[in-house]
């Protein structure tokens, strides 16, 4: 694959917010892109930069294989850094509004736009009148993204990390492509940790069953995808679980990972193993639980969890 160097690309006038590293707007092939630079890791002092650009690139490509609309991404270099270029999804005359700003339009809402309590998110979706998008479409999108994030171990899908595109001139409102997947796929793991996880079952399973948790909360506690998906009785969630799991194609996912530039064979093995394990141990087991009543008792025995409403 030909290496792409963005160092000499012309800057455009666009700027971006977000808390995870620097970003600049550039023109590449006559289109606007946001270049995301790798941030310094918060937890792992062994690693000079996180792998979040790799996570962004790989995850956005995987989302497309699940039939979800995600931003287009390219990996390349900017001076000595590996960066991810995300195609700017705002066309001329389109403005972007994050979900938090939609949540603020619900006057009775007490939590504030960035509060990620699940019931408040669902209430906002049910009651929004701001955008001319069917609420059922937003809800479907939300749960599909929730299942995909569970597959990819995303711990940062807060209300600023998904949103809408508004064309004020033509009065067209749309859900924006999925963006900010830099917190999927264990971006803080360095090669030593990857090795440890791949060779130690307990280390691996801890990263499936215990963390990472979602940024979305249930009764003020961050949702654990495994426990939540096994125990939820939310039918929209269960339908999305079934639809997205059926679309997981491990051969296509392997191909994406194999063709990812800049990363080592160990890193590739780590990414593929974690996705495969998360599919088998979270999504498939949750499907079994919801769709095979004969197995129900067995799972309840394994999982003596509080019943969720
Ligand atoms: N592909 C894109 N096109 C246009 N705007 C984007 C795109 N991706 C992200 N943004 C905007 O830029 C902000 C920062 O990007 P994000 O990927 O969320 O960075 P961070 O990882 O620092 O949170 C987002 O909150 C959103 O407003
Ligand atoms: Mg963000």
| Per-residue pLDDT tens digits for 230-289 | 999 999 999 999 999 999 999 999 999 999 999 999 999 999 999 999 999 999 999 999
What pLDDT sits at residue 283?
98
Task: Give, using CA atoms, the residue closest to atom 20 of ligand 1.
Answer: 18
Residue 159, classed as helix, strand or coil, is coil
CATH number at residue 294: 1.10.1070.20
What's the number of domains the chain is made of? 1
Q: Out of 180, 184, 188, 215, give the residue to mutate to test ligand 1, the one with the largest number of ligand atoms within 8 Å of its CB.
A: 180
Contact yes or no for 74/26 (Cβ under 8 A): no
Task: Give, using CA atoms, the residue closest to atom 17 of ligand 1.
Answer: 180
CA distance 4 to 11: 16
Give the C-alpha distances (Å, rounded to integers) separating 73 from 70, 96, 275, 287: 9, 18, 20, 31
**What kind and span of H or E run contains 272?**
helix 265-278
Contact yes or no for 83/76 (Cβ under 8 A): yes
Helices (H) and strands (E) counted in the chain, each on its own, are 12, 9
Phi, psi for 167 (deg, rounded to 5) = -100, 105
Contact yes or no for 151/248 (Cβ under 8 A): yes
Residue 250 CB contacts under 8 Å (≥ 6 apart), including other chains: 272, 275, 276, 279
Scan for tokens 């394990």, then name that residue: 277
Atom of ligand 1 nearest to the CA of 89: 3
What pLDDT sits at residue 297?
53
Atom of ligand 1 nearest to the CA of 21: 22
What pLDDT sits at residue 272?
98
What pLDDT sits at residue 47?
74
Neighbours of ion ligand 2 (CB under 5 A): 18, 161, 180
Residue 260 CB contacts under 8 Å (≥ 6 apart), including other chains: 54, 57, 58, 75, 268, 271
The answer to whether residue 295 scores a pLDDT higher than 90 is no
Ligand 2 centroid from CA 18, angstroms: 5
What pLDDT sits at residue 100?
97
**What kind and span of H or E run contains 28?**
strand 23-28
Q: Name the DSSP letter for residue 165.
A: E
State which residues form the domain around 163: 1-309
Task: Give, using CA atoms, the residue closest to atom 21 of ligand 1.
Answer: 20
What pLDDT sits at residue 2?
77
Q: Per DSSP, what are the bridge partners of residue 221?
A: 218
pLDDT digits (tens, 9 = 90+) for 26-81: 999 999 999 999 988 777 766 777 899 999 999 999 999 999 999 999 999 999 99
The answer to whether residue 136 scores a pLDDT higher than 50 is yes
Task: Give, using CA atoms, the residue closest to atom 1 of ligand 1.
Answer: 88
The answer to whether the peptide bond before residue 49 is cis (omega within 30 degrees of 0) is: no
Ligand 1 centroid from CA 46, angstroms: 27
Task: Give, using CA atoms, the residue closest to atom 19 of ligand 1.
Answer: 18
| pLDDT level of residue 293 (50, 70, 90 thresholds) | low
**Closest alpha carbon to 270 in 214, 173, 193:** 193
| pLDDT level of residue 21 (50, 70, 90 thresholds) | confident
Q: Does ligand 1 come within 6 angstroms of the Cβ of 150?
A: no
pLDDT digits (tens, 9 = 90+) for 139-195: 999 999 999 999 999 999 999 999 999 999 999 999 999 999 999 999 999 999 999
| pLDDT level of residue 307 (50, 70, 90 thresholds) | very low
Q: Does ligand 1 come within 6 angstroms of the Cβ of 85?
A: no
Q: Does ligand 1 come within 6 angstroms of the Cβ of 178?
A: no
């Amino acid at each position: 694959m030909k290496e792409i160097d963005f160092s000499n690309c012309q800057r455009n006038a666009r700027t971006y917010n977000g808390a995870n590293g620097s970003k600049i707007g550039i023109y590449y092939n006559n289109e606007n892109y946001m270049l995301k630079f790798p941030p310094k890791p918060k937890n792992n002092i062994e690693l000079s930069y996180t792998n979040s650009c790799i996570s962004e690139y790989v995850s956005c490509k995987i989302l497309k294989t699940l039939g979800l609309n995600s931003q287009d991404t390219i990996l390349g270099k900017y001076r000595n850094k590996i960066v991810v270029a995300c195609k700017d999804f705002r066309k001329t005359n389109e403005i972007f509004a994050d979900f938090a700003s939609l949540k603020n339009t619900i006057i009775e809402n007490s939590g504030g736009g960035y509060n990620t309590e699940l019931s408040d998110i669902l209430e906002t979706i049910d009651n929004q009148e701001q955008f001319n998008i069917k609420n059922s479409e937003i809800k479907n999108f939300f749960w599909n993204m929730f299942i995909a994030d569970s597959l990819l171990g995303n711990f940062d899908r807060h209300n600023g990390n998904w949103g809408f595109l508004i064309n004020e001139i033509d009065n067209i409102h749309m859900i924006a492509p999925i963006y900010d997947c830099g917190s999927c796929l264990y971006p803080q793991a360095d090669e030593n940790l990857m090795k440890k996880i791949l060779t130690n079952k307990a280390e691996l399973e801890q990263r499936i069953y215990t963390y990472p948790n979602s940024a979305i909360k249930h009764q003020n506690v961050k949702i654990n995808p495994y426990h939540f998906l096994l125990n939820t009785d939310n039918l929209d969630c269960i339908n999305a679980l079934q639809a997205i799991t059926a679309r997981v194609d491990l051969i296509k996912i392997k191909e994406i990972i194999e063709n990812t530039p800049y990363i080592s064979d160990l890193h590739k093995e780590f990414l593929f193993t974690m996705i495969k394990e998360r599919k088998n141990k979270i999504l498939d087991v949750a499907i079994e639980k919801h769709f095979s009543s004969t197995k129900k008792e067995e799972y309840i025995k394994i999982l003596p969890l509080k019943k969720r409403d």
